[in-house]
Amino acid sequence: MSTAEATTTTGTEVMTYREALRLALREEMERDERVFLMGEEVGVFEGAYKVSAGLMDQFGADRVRDTPISEEGFVGAGAGAAMLGERPVVEIMTLNFLLVAMDQVINHAAKVGAMFGGEVRCPMVIRTPNGAGNQLTAQHSQSFDGWFAGTPGLKVVAPASPADAKGLLKAAIRDEDPVLVLENLPIYKEKGEVSLDPEFVTPIGLANVARTGEDLTIVSHGFATVRALHVAEQLAADHGIDAEVVDLRSLRPLDVQTIAESVAKTNHVLCVEEGWPSYGVTAEIAARVQKACFDDLDAPVERVGMAEVPLPYAKELELAAMPHEERIAAAALATLGRAS
């Protein structure tokens, strides 16, 4: 441990989600020589979304490694380096581009531990923003969270706040297994209190009750949690409804226990995600809840997600498809049998 680390304050500071990610990367790279960042435009360009700004100056081009546009190649190279004890953090510009590397993620990195009988591990982090908005259209507006979270061998986390952006990314880097960190473009600029303690991590597999309430449980992750928290305040102000928001933080492992404890109190569940609901995260939550919480439910589990179309360009159409706050609020009221 360096002197700088040993003397770091343990207070907090208000910073953006983007800055929190950068702080996590900087701290982990200072702590552990094996940690390195690679991806398209992470070095000279300082990141397509500026998450890695300043890191190449501090750590050099070897540890902040620019790659060609070659996701299958460098995601697989990350997996291979991890198998030899490195701690690569691979940045993918957006989740949509990870599709061309799916063979390396699903057929390779995710298989290393089990398929080789525990003889070798693959401690790789892939971090990438997902989600929709800003008229990015069909090929750049997708969320496949459920695809990855449904794959044994992977871990998937989705920070919704600056604090968790730091804590979960650090936990992912320190983990023994491949971890996908799902970030969100719209939250990069969100601000919040973040611990300055270099040993602060957010445990993987632990959901967060982001808002306590008595009447309804809203289960969400990533940007959907930001929306859910806004909706909860509106519901309180406009309808006197006290909603609890369970922010999943981790999709695999999934903290069903925290959801079940919340449902035992509220008896009503609304699941929200940014992606398409069919076969999605909300489908999984609904299936688990109906089994784990059957006696506690006073109404069917309700879901809100992206309209099931490739996202169109026109602003009006994009808005119509998105799981925006009005749709979430209307679903919350419907779940409770209240008119909107």
Partner 1 sequence: MAVTVPPRTDQLDRDTRRELYETMVLSRVFETEAERQYKAARIGGYCHLSSGQEAMTIGAMHALHADDLLVTGYRSHGFALARGIPPEAVMAELFGRVDGCAHGRGGSMHLLDPSRGYYGGWGIVAGQLPIATGLALALRRQGREQAVLCELGDGAVNMGAWHESLNLASLWDLPVVFLVVNNLYGMGTAVERASAEPDLYKRASAYRMHGERVDGDDLDTMIEAADRLLTAAREEHRPAVLEAVTYRYRGHSVADAGLAYRSKEEIAEHQRHDPIVREREKLLAEGVSEEELAAIDTHADERVAAAVQAALDSPAPQPDRLAYGMHGVGSAEQFARMRPGSAYGEEALTFDAGLGA
User: Distance between terminal CA atoms of the chain?
Assistant: 56
Q: Which of 24, 293, 332, 336 binds partner 1 (CB under 8 A)?
A: 293
Work out the number of other CB atoms within 10 angstroms of the CB of residue 244: 24
> CB within 8 A of 148, min separation 6: which ones?
105, 154, 156, 180, 251, 252
Q: Is residue 205 part of the contact set for partner 1 (CB under 8 A)?
A: yes
Q: Is residue 282 part of the contact set for partner 1 (CB under 8 A)?
A: no
Q: Is residue 116 part of the contact set for partner 1 (CB under 8 A)?
A: yes
Interface residues for partner 1 in 227-246 (CB under 8 A)? Answer: none
Q: Which of 53, 99, 209, 292 binds partner 1 (CB under 8 A)?
A: 292
Contact 38, 81 (CB under 8 A): no
Nearer to partner 1 by Cβ, of 15 and 289: the residue is 289
In terms of Cβ atoms closer than 10 Å to its own Cβ (0-12, 13-18, 19+), residue 190 is middle
**CA 114, 183, 28: angle at the middle one, nearest 5?**
70
> What minimum distance in Å lies between the beta carbon of 256 and partner 1?
4
Nearer to partner 1 by Cβ, of 264 and 319: the residue is 264
Q: Is 71 a catalytic residue?
A: yes
Q: Is residue 204 part of the contact set for partner 1 (CB under 8 A)?
A: yes
**DSSP track, 248-299:** --EEETT-HHHHHHHHHHH--EEEE-SS-STTSHHHHHHHHHHHHSGGG-SS
What are the structure tokens assigned to 163, written together?
Answer: 């604090």
What are the structure tokens assigned to 220, written together?
Answer: 């969400």
> What minimum distance in Å lies between the beta carbon of 186 and partner 1?
28
Q: Is residue 76 part of the contact set for partner 1 (CB under 8 A)?
A: yes
Q: Is residue 102 part of the contact set for partner 1 (CB under 8 A)?
A: no
From 221-229, 282-290, 299-307, 328-336, span contacting partner 1 (CB under 8 A) = 282-290
> What minimum distance in Å lies between the beta carbon of 258 and partner 1?
7
> What minimum distance in Å lies between the beta carbon of 125 and partner 1?
14
Q: Is 86 a catalytic residue?
A: no
Kindly state the helix (H) or strand (E) to which residue 302 belongs, with its residue range.
Answer: strand 302-304
Nearer to partner 1 by Cβ, of 78 and 162: the residue is 78
How far is it, in rounded angstroms, from Cα 220 to Cα 232?
12
Q: Is residue 199 part of the contact set for partner 1 (CB under 8 A)?
A: no
Nearer to partner 1 by Cβ, of 257 and 340: the residue is 257
Q: What is the gyration radius of the CA atoms in the chain, in angstroms? A: 20
List the catalytic residue out of 72, 140, 261, 325: 140
Q: Is residue 68 part of the contact set for partner 1 (CB under 8 A)?
A: yes
Q: Which of 51, 55, 79, 95 binds partner 1 (CB under 8 A)?
A: 79
Q: Which of 77, 229, 301, 306 binds partner 1 (CB under 8 A)?
A: 77
List the catalytic residue out of 19, 27, 71, 91: 71
Q: Which of 113, 129, 277, 280 binds partner 1 (CB under 8 A)?
A: 113
Going from the C-alpha of 122 to that of each of 153, 197, 207, 237, 316, the distances in angstroms are 10, 27, 25, 48, 44
Binding residue count for partner 1, defined by CB under 8 A: 63
How far is it, in rounded angstroms, from Cα 22 to Cα 51?
6
Contact 268, 245 (CB under 8 A): no
Question: Quick one: which of 272, 268, 294 has its CA closest to 283?
Answer: 272
Contact 144, 196 (CB under 8 A): no
Cite the active site residues: 71, 140
Q: Could you list the residues that contact partner 1 (CB under 8 A)?
A: 36, 62, 67-68, 70, 72-86, 88, 100, 103-104, 107-108, 113-121, 123, 152-153, 155, 175-177, 203-207, 250, 253-260, 287-293
